A and B are shown apart, each in its own frame.
Chain A
Amino acid sequence: MKIAITTSGSDLGAPLDSRFGRSPKFLVYDLDNEKFEIIDNQQNLNAAQGAGIQSAETVVRSGAKALVSGHCGPKAFRVLAAAGIKVYTSDAPTIAAALELFQAGKLKEAVGADVEGHW
């Protein structure tokens, strides 16, 4: 199973980015083979609107079945939920820490957006 994590960096030691729609990158980690890939999301950094929707589409296309981010807005959550992707919010400092919490079952699945759009 693949899990997408928001970040500004390119490795497991990189910080978890608290934003979803305007996260600079996604690290998509494959729990089965412990490998990961980096997906660029720069195009959304300066989007006036629709960043969450487009980021959610990117995550859907990556094949991830779960997302870990700091926060998730309403439109993004709707797209992710429609695609069957589980959303987990975390304030873990790094991707590695977030993955550890996820694998230990310590992250709680979000049942809805936890922030307004354009927060």
Chain B
Amino acid sequence: MILAIASGKGGTGKTTVAVNLARVLERPVQLLDCDVEEPNSHLFLPGGTIREEAVSIPVPEVDESLCDGCGECGRFCAYHAIVSFRAKPLVFADMCHGCGGCMLVCPKKSIREIPKRIGTIERKQAGKITLVTGRLDVGQAMAPPLIRAVKERLQPGMPAILDAPPGTSCPVIAAIRGADFVLLVTEPTPFGLHDLKLAVDMVKELGLPFGVLVNRAGSGDDRVHAFCCESSVPILAEIADDRRIAEAYSRGQLIVEALPAYRDLFSKLAEMLLADHSSKGG
């Protein structure tokens, strides 16, 4: 069972929900921090050993002695990562998505791929939680390949929670694609509602089953609830707008440990969403 925690708007509580669900599960679980531009799940799960490995994407390297400057590579590349003027193609490795297309279309076979480091994957064990964190190197723009590399570390047979990046763009798609269920975390504010609508459209487009968690319930207005009701989007849980939660969060504490009153809410949600009887070997 792979559960993705996503949202349109940032700062609605994805990580809070992800780490607390992982903690209350009380059986081995994988937590994958796919918010590789600013991973933060690890802040709530201290201890354990850390292993780190580098992740690279393939980028083109041109052998100018073989290149006749035909320009096929530049015409193929949708991202202008390789630009050809006569016999001297220019490679912009930062723009490269690593698809390998330029290498395939080159009639002279003058392009080969060399690895370019984009980030790291860290692994640590915090009790029953195996945390896998992707961390994009500063200055790198290509999050999706690193997110896919994080997901390749998924071990079948153990439930997994994916902490997705915010938004509805490529990194989010890379994170939630293939999940068995997507939990969309929102807040009852105009911004929360606006971005929730985008997120709902996104998961519908991907054909993924989903539900909504309303965080900071009671803080804004009732339009998120009205939207969910009108659109037949299930609200699976609500977390109250409680200052003590923010205080615990600011100290790096888990809600289920600092505020036991909320334990039940997370336990029920975890059982509902990560039950054993689900698909994909989970």
Contacts and interface: CB of A to CB of B under 8 A. Distances in A.
B90 interface: yes
A60 interface: yes
Interface stretch (B60-68, B77-85, B211-219): B77-85
Contacts of B85: 60, 79, 82-83
Given A49-B141, A50-B79, A60-B85, A79 B95 contact: no
B80 A53 contact: yes
B79 A79 contact: no
A75 interface: yes
Most A CB contacts (10 A, CB to CB) among B74, B80, B88, B92 go to B80
A82 B88 contact: yes
Interface residues of B, number: 11
A78 interface: yes
Contact of A49 (B74, B83, B90, B95): B95
Contacts of B79: 49-50
Contacts of A56: 83
Contacts of B92: 50, 53, 75, 78
B144 to A, nearest CB: 13
A51 B63 CA distance: 26
A69 interface: no
A83 B95 CA distance: 20
Interface in B48-79: 74, 79
A11 interface: no
Contacts of A114: none
Contacts of A49: 79, 95, 141
Contacts of A100: none
Nearest to A79: B83
Contacts of A75: 92, 95
Given A60-B85, A82-B85, A83-B85, A50 B80 contact: yes
Contacts of A79: 83, 85, 90
- B74, B79, B81, B88 interface centre (most CB from chain A within 10 Å): B79
A65 to B, nearest CB: 14
Contacts of A82: 83, 85, 88, 90
B120 to A, nearest CB: 23
A13 B95 CA distance: 36
A53 B208 CA distance: 37
A82 to B, nearest CB: 6
A53 B88 contact: no
Contact of B80 (A54, A60, A83): A54
Interface string B228-265: 00000000000000000000000000000000000000
A91 interface: no
A57 interface: yes
A56 B85 CA distance: 11
A12 B90 CA distance: 33
A83 B83 CA distance: 11
Contacts of B80: 50, 53-54, 57
Contacts of B88: 82
Which of B81, B90, B95 has most A Cβ within 10 Å? B90
A57 B74 CA distance: 10
B85 to A, nearest CB: 5
B231 to A, nearest CB: 29
A73 B81 CA distance: 15
A82 B92 CA distance: 13
B90 to A, nearest CB: 6
Interface of A: 49-50, 53-54, 56-57, 60, 75, 78-79, 82-83
Which 3 residue pairs of A and B lie closest in terms of their CB atoms, listed nearest first? A50-B80, A53-B80, A83-B85
